[in-house]
Amino acid sequence: MSEWRAKRFWTASSVEAEKAGFRVELDGRPIRTPAKQLLVLPSEALARAVAAEWDVQGDVIDPGTMPATRAANAALDKVAPNRDGLLEGLASYGATDLLCYRAETDDPLRALQDDAWDPLLTWAEASFGAALVPTSGVVPVDQDAASLSRLSAILEQQDDFSLTALSELVSLSGSLVIGLAVIEGLLPDEELWRRSRVDEDWQESQWGRDEEAAETAALKRAEFLRAAEFYRLSRPGA
């Protein structure tokens, strides 16, 4: 049996301003999320990105080609009603942040980690008062409770669309600090992604390229960059 797929039912999209933000309409009818909420977006830039995704659909709708629409739906249908749980999950990355777990000091990998990650931890301490302590090996290290609390406070200040982006940025990189560095514009997105991949790149340099792992990494990189772009598009006034 062939899979059912929704067919195109509209001619053109448009963006309309309203008090709460911007909505996208298809032939004058507003788009709704899968949970039947009106898809009201916080910026005109994001609304136009969503409209463009609907405009380029062919006879059959392909959700895989609509990342901005899917992320916006997630912000309204998944993040907003589960905000507390998401905040708790994101905050937990601070306690086990990728940047804090290093190779032993005599391992050649350690110098690469220190070079890539120390500046990010220094920035987190200077910007948020969150001093995270690096350690050698994989044995968990207890981080300062006050530092973790300050990182949690930064997360609580984010709106639902920001948290949608951060959820992807943090889970894909394994680092709350890297996720925050993206939304603060500390370094280019590509550079921050590269810094999250120090361990994997080192392994590849030592043992050669694994095509399956490389394909997975490429997909994750694309998702990371899309999440960063979604964050910027969703800023009010964008």
Per residue in 42-75, pLDDT (tens digit) is: 999 999 999 999 999 888 888 899 999 999 999 9
At residue 7, the 3 state secondary structure works out as: strand
Per residue in 127-176, pLDDT (tens digit) is: 999 999 999 988 889 999 999 999 999 999 999 999 999 999 999 999 99
In sequence order, the 6+-apart residues with CB closer than 8 A to the CB of 51 are 13, 14, 15, 24
pLDDT at 214: 92
Per residue in 218-229, pLDDT (tens digit) is: 999 999 999 999
Say what the pTM is.
Answer: 0.93
Q: Any idea what DSSP says for residue 14?
A: E
Cα-based distances in Å from 198 to 101, 109, 125:
12, 8, 21
Percent of the chain past pLDDT 70, that is, above it, reads: 98
Quickly list DSSP for 45-114: HHHHHHHHHHHT--SB--GGG-HHHHHHHHIIIIIGGGHHHHHHHHHHHHHT-GGGEE--TTSHHHHHHH
